[in-house]
Amino acid sequence: IYYQPGWKAFVDGKETPHFRADWTLRALRVPAGEHQIVFRFEPDNYIMATQVASVSSLLILLLLAGAIAWSVWNTLKKEKELQK
């Protein structure tokens, strides 16, 4: 069934525009001969959101690792001062 947002059509691995046919179906122009046709649901907004989420998660993990390292460093520094 035709639904434009997010759907991409590929003929032999090359992206090809598709359009509505008979009110509800999807269609695309294919040259004569044998070809591999693939329709994939790849919404641009979803891909961008997953990339932003991945970068945000990495930053949070780095901040957490930094906070743990700083806490350990401060603890070791205080122990050395007490030993003096």
Whether 35 maps to a domain, the answer reads: yes
Task: Decide: pTM greater than 0.75.
Answer: no
Whether 79 maps to a domain, the answer reads: no
- What's the mean pLDDT in 37-56? 92
Domain count, the chain: 1
Whether 28 maps to a domain, the answer reads: yes
Tens of pLDDT along 47-74?
A: 899 999 999 999 999 999 999 999 999 9
Q: At 4, is the secondary structure helix, strand, or coil?
A: coil
The model's confidence at residue 34, banded by pLDDT at 50, 70 and 90, is: very high
Whether 27 maps to a domain, the answer reads: yes
Q: What domain range is 15 assigned to?
A: 7-41
